[in-house]
Amino acid sequence: MSAYLLDTHVVLWLATDPERVPRALRDSLVGADALFVSAATGYEIAQKVRLGRLQHGGQVLARWTALLRSLLAEELPLSGEHMRTAGELDWEHRDPFDRMLVAQAQIDGLILVTADQRIRVFPEVTCADWA
């Protein structure tokens, strides 16, 4: 079974500039058994829009439900277990959103789709090939 969790930048790229995601990876996502977007991703985008740090984020949020539907993705809620694990990760990376996504991928047995090398080098998470 192939089940993927999309990192925030991947959701944004698929929504606004899909060519930034490698073709083979996009094909894998289309053929996936399950595709998830974390509830934390919605929060991260909203936070960056509020702070004026994300140009097209407001448009993405305005069509959030339609975007998930078009990606054939399901929103993955954060549980207490996800949050505790995110806080306990033995990892120096301080970005709370990345920590939440890694915890969700670990606990739920998902392949994390990210171009972020800080995540890709963390040995305790399985990442999709970015090629």
Handedness of CA 92, 93, 98, 102 (dihedral sign): negative
Per residue in 38-79, pLDDT (tens digit) is: 999 999 999 999 999 998 899 999 999 999 999 999 999 999
Per residue in 94-127, pLDDT (tens digit) is: 999 999 999 999 999 999 999 999 999 999 999 9
Burial per residue of 72-94, b for 16 or more beta-carbon CB atoms within 10 angstroms, e otherwise: ebeebebeeebbebbeebebeee
pTM, 2 dp: 0.96
Which H or E run includes 35? strand 34-38
* Structural domains of the chain ordered from first start: 6-121 (3.40.50.1010)
